[in-house]
């Protein structure tokens, strides 16, 4: 089993997204990337998680995250890329600020106070 380097994987992800436009899950991204890698060398292997992490680092790719409800503790760090999260606040009727969610300035992840667990990812090529 061989581990492909990030640069090669990033290039494949960019090329495939240009071709297909949008990929609607991390599993699908992993499958597509592994398929391409195996055309190059059949011993290449990549996990969907690693493909997703590399996609986050490619400049012209947008990654969006759908979140779901969870009873676990609120994250302090981004559950997608591990960056520090910034709190989002809103004023209630009494004029008090309450935390309504959080946002990651690194990867675009957003969660709210009830729904913050990453559930589904979408990968798109950014069009300028």
Chain positions contacting Zn ion, by CB under 5 A: 78, 80-81, 83, 104, 106-107, 109
Beta-strand (E) ranges in 11-75?
Answer: 22-23, 61-69
| CB 90, min distance to Zn ion, A | 21
Taking each helix axis from N to C terminus, what angle separates 26-40 and 6-20, rounded to the nearest 10 degrees? Answer: 110
Beta-strand (E) ranges in 22-84?
Answer: 22-23, 61-69
> Looking at beta carbons only, is 44 or 116 nearer to Zn ion?
116
| CB 21, min distance to Zn ion, A | 23
The CB density around residue 52, as the number of other CB atoms within 10 Å, is 24
> Looking at beta carbons only, is 37 or 107 nearer to Zn ion?
107
> Looking at beta carbons only, is 83 or 100 nearer to Zn ion?
83
């Amino acid at each position: 089993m061989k581990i492909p380097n990030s640069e090669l994987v990033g290039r494949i992800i960019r090329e495939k997204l240009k071709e297909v436009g949008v990929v609607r899950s991390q599993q699908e991204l992993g499958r597509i990337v592994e398929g391409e890698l195996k055309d190059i060398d059949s011993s290449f292997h990549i996990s969907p998680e690693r493909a997703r992490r590399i996609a986050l680092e490619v400049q012209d790719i947008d990654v969006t995250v759908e979140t779901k409800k969870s009873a676990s503790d609120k994250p302090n760090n981004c559950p997608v890329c591990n960056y520090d999260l910034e709190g989002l606040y809103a004023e209630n009727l009494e004029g008090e600020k309450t935390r309504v969610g959080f946002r990651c300035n690194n990867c675009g992840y957003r969660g709210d106070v009830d729904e913050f667990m990453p559930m589904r990812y979408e990968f798109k090529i950014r069009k300028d």
